[in-house]
Structure 1
Amino acid sequence: MQVTDDLCRATAREHIDLLAAGTISARELLQLHLDRIDQVNDRVNAVVSIDRDIAEAAADASDARRAAGQLRSPLDGLPTAFKDLEDAAGFRTTRGSRRFADNISTSDSDVVARMRGAGMVPIGKTNTPEFGTGSHTINDVFGPTRNPYDPTRSAGGSSGGAAAALAAGMVSVADGSDMGGSLRNPASFCNVVGFRPTPGVVPMSPGGDLWNTLPVKGPMGRTVRDAALLLSVIAGESPRSPITFPGDGSRFARVAEEAPDQSILAGLRVLWSPSVGGLAIDPAVRRVLEERAVPELRAAGATVIENSLEAELAGIDEAFRTPRAHGYAAGFRDAVATTPEILAPELVANTTWGLSLTATDLARADELRTQAFARFAELFTEVDVIAAPAATVPPFPVEERWVREVDGVPQNDYLDWMRAAWRFTPLGGASMSVPCGFTDEGLPVGLQLVTAPRRDEFLLRVAAAFEERVPAWREAPAILG
Structure 2
Amino acid sequence: MADFLEWTAHDLIAALRGERLSASEVMQATLARIDAENPHYNAIVSLRDPDVLLQEAHAADQADSKWPLHGVPMAVKDLADVGGMPTSQGSPLFAGQIAPESEIMVQRMQDAGAIVIGKTNTPEFGLGSHTYNPVFGATQNAVLPGCSAGGSSGGAAVALARHMVCLADGSDAMGSLRNPAGWNGVYGMRPTWGLLPSAPGGDLFMHQLATNGPMARNPRDLALLLGVQSGPDPRLPFGLPQADYADDLDVDVAGRKIAWLGDWGGAYPMEEGVLAAAQAGVARFEQMGCTVETVAPPLMPQRYGRRGRHYAHGIKPRNLARFMMTPNSVTGSSLKRSGRLRKGVR
Q: TM-score normalised by the shorter chain: which range applies?
A: 0.7 to 0.9
1:168-218 deviation line (CA, Å, top 9, x unaligned): 111121111111211111111111111111221111114421354101111
Equivalent of 1:55, from 53, 56, 59? 53
Q: Please tell me whether residue 74 in structure 1 is matched to residue 68 in structure 2.
A: yes
Q: CA 1:284 to 1:82, structure 2 compared with 1: closer, same or farther past 3 Å?
A: same
| Structure 2 counterpart of 1:461 | none
> In structure 2, how many angstroms separate the alpha carbons of the residues matched to 1:364 and 1:357?
10
Secondary structure of the 1:98 match is coil
Preserved contact between residue 84 and residue 95 of structure 1 (Cα < 8 Å) = yes
In the TM superposition, residue 304 of structure 1 has moved relative to its aligned partner by 3.0
Q: Structure 1 counterpart of 2:245, which letter?
A: V
Q: Structure 2 counterpart of 1:335, which letter?
A: A
Secondary structure of the 2:24 match is helix
Secondary structure of the 1:182 match is coil
> In structure 1, how many angstroms separate the alpha carbons of the residues matched to 2:342 and 2:204?
18
Q: Structure 2 counterpart of 1:230, which letter?
A: L
Equivalent of 1:226, from 221, 230, 233? 221
* Equivalences for residues 180-219 of structure 1 within 5 A: 180-211=174-205, 212-219=207-214
Secondary structure of the 1:53 match is helix
Unaligned runs of 5+ in 2: 327-332
Q: Structure 2 counterpart of 1:19, which letter?
A: L
* Equivalences for residues 232-247 of structure 1 within 5 A: 232-245=227-240, 247=241
> In structure 1, how many angstroms separate the alpha carbons of the residues matched to 2:203 and 2:121?
23
Q: CA 1:62 to 1:290, structure 2 compared with 1: closer, same or farther past 3 Å?
A: same
| Structure 1 counterpart of 2:30 | 33
* Equivalences for residues 172-183 of structure 1 within 5 A: 172-183=166-177
Equivalent of 1:137, from 131, 136, 145? 131
Equivalent of 2:161, from 160, 167, 170? 167
| Structure 1 counterpart of 2:323 | 337
1:237-272 deviation line (CA, Å, top 9, x unaligned): 223333333x4x3x1xx333x4842x6222222333
* Equivalences for residues 74-153 of structure 1 within 5 A: 74-153=68-147
Q: Please tell me whether residue 304 in structure 1 is matched to residue 292 in structure 2.
A: yes
> In structure 2, how many angstroms separate the alpha carbons of the residues matched to 1:12 and 1:325?
41
> In structure 2, how many angstroms separate the alpha carbons of the residues matched to 1:121 and 1:156?
26
> In structure 2, how many angstroms separate the alpha carbons of the residues matched to 1:103 and 1:173?
25
- Larger mean Cα displacement after TM superposition, 118-127 or 203-212: 203-212
In the TM superposition, residue 119 of structure 1 has moved relative to its aligned partner by 1.0
> In structure 1, how many angstroms separate the alpha carbons of the residues matched to 2:58 and 2:309?
43
Preserved contact between residue 16 and residue 70 of structure 2 (Cα < 8 Å) = no
In the TM superposition, residue 362 of structure 1 has moved relative to its aligned partner by 4.7
* Equivalences for residues 332-411 of structure 1 within 5 A: 334-337=320-323, 357=337, 359=339, 362-363=342-343, 365-366=345-346
| Structure 2 counterpart of 1:468 | none
The higher relative CO (CA closer than 8 Å, separation ≥ 6) is in 1
Q: Under a length normalisation based on structure 1, what TM-score does the superposition of the two structures give?
A: 0.64
Q: Please tell me whether residue 313 in structure 1 is matched to residue 298 in structure 2.
A: yes
Unaligned runs of 5+ in 1: 341-352, 367-481
Equivalent of 2:273, from 284, 287, 292? 284
> In structure 2, how many angstroms separate the alpha carbons of the residues matched to 1:136 and 1:364?
25
Q: Structure 1 counterpart of 2:232, which letter?
A: E
In the TM superposition, residue 317 of structure 1 has moved relative to its aligned partner by 5.5
Equivalent of 1:255, from 236, 242, 245? 245
> In structure 2, how many angstroms separate the alpha carbons of the residues matched to 1:85 and 1:238?
20
Q: Structure 1 counterpart of 2:6, which letter?
A: R
Q: CA 1:356 to 1:139, structure 2 compared with 1: closer, same or farther past 3 Å?
A: farther
In the TM superposition, residue 150 of structure 1 has moved relative to its aligned partner by 0.6
Secondary structure of the 1:123 match is strand
Secondary structure of the 1:357 match is helix
Q: Please tell me whether residue 20 in structure 1 is matched to residue 6 in structure 2.
A: no
> In structure 2, how many angstroms separate the alpha carbons of the residues matched to 1:82 and 1:185?
18
Equivalent of 1:46, from 24, 43, 47? 43
In the TM superposition, residue 124 of structure 1 has moved relative to its aligned partner by 0.6
Preserved contact between residue 58 and residue 120 of structure 1 (Cα < 8 Å) = no
In the TM superposition, residue 122 of structure 1 has moved relative to its aligned partner by 1.1
> In structure 1, how many angstroms separate the alpha carbons of the residues matched to 2:46 and 2:341?
41
In the TM superposition, residue 319 of structure 1 has moved relative to its aligned partner by 5.4
Q: CA 1:124 to 1:363, structure 2 compared with 1: closer, same or farther past 3 Å?
A: closer
> In structure 2, how many angstroms separate the alpha carbons of the residues matched to 1:61 and 1:81?
19
> In structure 2, how many angstroms separate the alpha carbons of the residues matched to 1:288 and 1:165?
25
In the TM superposition, residue 295 of structure 1 has moved relative to its aligned partner by 3.3
Give percent identity, aligned residues only: 40
In the TM superposition, residue 232 of structure 1 has moved relative to its aligned partner by 1.1
Q: Structure 2 counterpart of 1:99, which letter?
A: L
| Structure 2 counterpart of 1:429 | none
Q: Structure 2 counterpart of 1:126, which letter?
A: T
RMSD across aligned positions (CA): 2.9
> In structure 2, how many angstroms separate the alpha carbons of the residues matched to 1:297 and 1:209?
38
| Structure 2 counterpart of 1:266 | 254
Secondary structure of the 1:147 match is coil
In the TM superposition, residue 318 of structure 1 has moved relative to its aligned partner by 3.8
> In structure 2, how many angstroms separate the alpha carbons of the residues matched to 1:273 and 1:161?
27
Preserved contact between residue 237 and residue 244 of structure 1 (Cα < 8 Å) = yes
Preserved contact between residue 307 and residue 344 of structure 2 (Cα < 8 Å) = no
> In structure 1, how many angstroms separate the alpha carbons of the residues matched to 2:312 and 2:77?
20
| Structure 2 counterpart of 1:422 | none
Q: CA 1:360 to 1:44, structure 2 compared with 1: closer, same or farther past 3 Å?
A: closer
Q: Structure 2 counterpart of 1:265, which letter?
A: V
In the TM superposition, residue 130 of structure 1 has moved relative to its aligned partner by 1.1
Q: Structure 2 counterpart of 1:10, which letter?
A: W
> In structure 1, how many angstroms separate the alpha carbons of the residues matched to 2:12 and 2:306?
41
